[in-house]
Chains A and B, each alone.
Chain A
Amino acid sequence: MVAMLCGIRSGICVGRVVCRSYAVKAWVGEKLKSTEELGEYLSKETWSVEEYLSDSPNSALEQPSEDTVKKLLKLSGLSVEGNDIGRIQQRLGKQLSFIEKLHRIPLENEESIDESKARVMPREIAALNYEDLLDKIATQRTNLDLGEVEGSWDSTGLAKIKQSKWFVLRGGLMHNRN
């Protein structure tokens, strides 16, 4: 538990450093030795999300228009009716300003960064040769923990409405959306 929190602590440190110079490696702080130390550590406020949300000079300009919000609701399969459009505009505006701030963070070697590799997964992947490819196929295994073994679970078992082994979609869901 303590070790995990050390990780979080280091993560927070990374968070702060990132804003300055985009450090690639995490900085691990001193180990927390007792529950008291842990409590003390967590009770201290070292940063705040507000700090990153409030300093945009053009936050009003970044608010999406009413029409954009309505379009987004439609694309997301959500109803326009009963939603506070003004509030959604405000919240999306804040999120946009946060994203905009992230975009403004200076990066090391910005020119050489390949945006297509900006993923959660490792960025640099060794190119597969023919043998690697065959090996990858040969070593792929069905995983019981991922529900991949046929008959190991009933996928419709979790559904509220079902017919035999079919999932059921109520027609109304399709027709009444805006």
Chain B
Amino acid sequence: MQFKFNLSFQRYYRTGSIHHFEHRQLSKYKLKCGLEIHTQLNTRKKLFSQSTNDPFHSIESPNVHTSYFDIALPGTQPILNYEAVLYAIRLSLAINAKVNLQSSFDRKHYFYGDQPMGYQITQHYQPFATGGQIKLNRDIDGVDDKNIRIIQLQLEQDTGKSVYRENEGLTLIDLNRSNVPLIEMVTQPDFTDVKQIRAFIKKYQNLVRHLNVSTGDLETGAMRVDVNLSVNDFARVELKNLPNTSSIINAVKFEFQRQVQIIEDGKGPELLLHPETRGWNGEATIKLRSKETTIDYRYMPDPELPVISLSPLAVEGVAKTLPPAPEDVIKKLMAAPYSLSLKDAKLLTIKGNSQDQMYTQPELLKFYVETFQCYLKDVKKSENRKINYKLPTNWIIHELLGILNKLQMPLKELTVIMTPENFSEFLMLIHRKEISNATGKLLLFHAVENLHNSDVIKEQKTVNFTSLIDEYDLGKISQIDDNELEKLCQDIIDEIKDKKLIENIVSGKKKNSIKYLIGLGMRVSQGRISAQEFERMFRKVLEI
């Protein structure tokens, strides 16, 4: 809801620097915060109608995803979309909340232009789930271990979107978002530090993405966070209209300092006696409404909707389909045999903010793990049995994803043709040093580009790296001109500054040092000339 700003508290705004607070002893001021997070569920359809749920992508086409019910035509009735129930169970289970087997919908009345029915259908008396917790931990979330308890989760409708045309005195309303399913999650006031708030939001965002119940994006409004805050147990202030993480953090910091100043001035009992709601204008928190203007929502059970009645079997069934928690997956990836860094483990597990990612985390993780297993097997069969654990990560995360992004090719299209077995074959070319890294990059790019541009995908053939090496002339040169090779070897010898090394090879004192020369030759030729050819030619040049 949007309200006119009441400027009566203007004398407490501090739009200037707040640094002078830092010198003050703040430890005697105890911050206590709770969060209210609204999460848009990415169900296919809306909560109480079967019109399309896609408010973000339809932003340019207002009011296209609107049924008679969504715009509140008289006589229309809500029909519950059970997809939202399924998603709500998933999220409740993931945070260890108790799914209430009987929950029901209520009407919350208020008037605003983006709320055509005059009330919002929510769950006031019997919420969907109660209890639960999200644990923050040092290793993964970067803050001291902390348990944030959840009060409840409720299913409710989103409102429409308002565009204010101040000059014309008009407000434009788009109801594509009206009746989109939301989950409101309320935490206990367990936060005592802004760092915990930041870590919690990130973790919760990752969780909803991992469960695939929401995009979790703050920027698109798919996730909205309100903060309840109090200092030294004075009355609670609710902070609203915080569009992104930095607004949330800055608003909390500002409001904390504002209240500390009031308490220091001895005005706490006067000015912080009653709860109030404040907004954020980018620089300061601004009073929106206080006790006197608190809205009476006149909650009543919605008589047109049946209660949601679930058997314990429904909850158990959903529990079985839940993916392992992101934290568990990350820990597994950081342990042997994968031994990944936290950064890479997170990349394989947690969806980023990007809207146009060429893969989903489950797809990427599956491809990585299967490729890794194939690589382990292939290495065991090869001459060089030393496993390079970083090889699959480097080539999948740092190389392949970059190529897919460049070519705008989805991973799932690629993996039809380039299977984990195939990719392991490619890794083995590098493992056996048959091709250099530079050649490998070229080869992989050409291979993927070739798939992207050709009909190979339709024909469902698999990639044959060996034939590609031939095709792009990246393979070993079997018929080499002796004169050229002799010049190459001579150049290598001439480049060596340690002349003693050469003398020792020639004298037979350090026979094996010739392998060093061969290694240099392999590097220069990017592995395209065989070691035997080099040995033969070095011996000829050095006359040994």
Contacts and interface: CB of A to CB of B under 8 A. Distances in A.
Nearest to B125: A116
B69 interface: yes
B387 interface: no
Interface string A139-163: 0111100111011000110100001
A3 interface: no
Interface in B90-119: 101-102, 104, 109, 111, 113, 118
B306 A128 contact: no
B311 interface: yes
A44 interface: no
B111 A116 contact: no
Contacts of B81: 140
A152 to B, nearest CB: 9
Given A75-B298, A133-B82, A166 B174 contact: yes
A1 interface: no
Given A125-B309, A166-B62, A116 B301 contact: yes
Contacts of B318: 130, 133
Interface string B63-89: 111111111010010000111011000
A24 interface: no
Given A120-B303, A129-B311, A167 B126 contact: no
B172 A129 contact: no
Contact of A174 (B50, B113, B307): B113
B309 A165 contact: no
B222 interface: no
A151 B169 contact: no
A119 B303 contact: yes
B306 A121 contact: yes
A170 interface: yes
A113 interface: no
Nearest to A130: B317
A58 interface: no
A172 interface: yes
A175 B169 CA distance: 10
A168 B50 contact: no
A132 interface: yes
B50 A137 contact: no
Nearest to B2: A174
Contacts of B69: 146-147
Across the A-B interface, the 9 shortest Cβ-Cβ residue pairs? A130-B317, A169-B113, A127-B311, A171-B169, A121-B306, A166-B172, A129-B313, A167-B173, A147-B68
27 contacts: A77-B111, A77-B118, A116-B125, A116-B301, A119-B303, A121-B306, A125-B307, A125-B309, A128-B82, A130-B313, A130-B317, A131-B317, A133-B82, A133-B314, A133-B317, A140-B82, A142-B51, A146-B69, A146-B76, A148-B50, A151-B64, A166-B62, A166-B173, A168-B171, A169-B113, A169-B162, A173-B113
